[in-house]
Amino acid sequence: EAEVAQSPRYKITEKSQAVAFWCDPISGHATLYWYRQILGQGPELLVQFQDESVVDDSQLPKDRFSAERLKGVDSTLKIQPAELGDSAMYLCASSPVATGFYGYTFGSGTRLTVV
Amino acid sequence: AQKITQTQPGMFVQEKEAVTLDCTYDTSDQSYGLFWYKQPSSGEMIFLIYQGSYDEQNATEGRYSLNFQKARKSANLVISASQLGDSAMYFCAMRSFSGGGADGLTFGKGTHLIIQP
């Protein structure tokens, strides 16, 4: 069964350091999403890509977060500098089309701890 | 703005009993979709069931059914014959079809379900 791949699975970093997460969506999925899930809460959308273009980044803290999907396939989410409050699970999801019903497929996530 | 409310932070249920997880939503959009996801302690989000706002019948998927009451803006998940493996966090989520291509999910805070033997 096709999966959304994310790495690393776990990451511990010191505050003020830079950190990056990688996501490889299911082959052929045009839409890719990054979510942040703080412990005890539901995921919240950070950014949505349609192919290589950003569709929605209204909730992305742009002073420290950046995301790219250069060739419209895999994607990288970066935080620089990391803050203690960034400790969370970062989930990537993909879907085949931008409209209509479709199944979002989530990756296993990257659990970030900032110390 | 969309909002999902899950009022049950935690629930304890005896194995083999049915359980209902509550979800209410708020949106001004006419066309939207409602999802339920299961998140075990390992962290992955597992899709359970989907209900479209124009679907006339309640969705069912195996032991999962969605009690959709559009006028009340509620979309409760019913799990029949609960099993120990059902213990997990459960999230209700909504996607709007308002156009523009932005269609990320809005999630509730979740319900932690524990099935007791």
How does residue A2 score in pLDDT terms, banded at 50, 70 and 90?
A: confident
Q: What are phi and psi of A96, to 5 degrees?
A: -75, -30
Nearest CA in chain A to B98: A99
Q: What is the pLDDT of residue A72?
A: 86
Q: What is the pLDDT of residue A4?
A: 95
The CA distance from B85 to the nearest CA of chain A, in Å, is 18
Q: Any bridge partners for residue B74, and if so which?
A: B24, B69
The CA distance from A1 to the nearest CA of chain B, in Å, is 14
Q: What is the pLDDT of residue A107?
A: 95
Provide mean pLDDT across the span A49-73. Answer: 93
B97 touches chain A (CB under 8 A): yes
Mutation for testing the A interface, residue in B3, B44, B90 having most A CBs under 10 Å: B44
Higher pLDDT: A82 or A104? It is: A82
Q: Per the CB < 8 Å rule, is B50 touching A101? A: yes
For A65-81, the pLDDT digits (tens) are 999 998 889 999 999 99
B64 touches chain A (CB under 8 A): no
Higher pLDDT: A101 or B35? It is: B35
DSSP assignments along A40-107, one per residue: TS--EEEEEEETTEEEE-TTS-TTTEEEE-TTSS-EEEEESS--GGG-EEEEEEEES-SSSS---EE-
Q: What is the pLDDT of residue A12?
A: 98
The CA distance from B94 to the nearest CA of chain A, in Å, is 12
* Cβ atoms of B31 and B97 closer than 8 Å: yes
Q: How high is the mean pLDDT in each 10-residue block of chain B (117 residues)?
A: 94 97 94 93 91 91 96 97 97 82 90 97
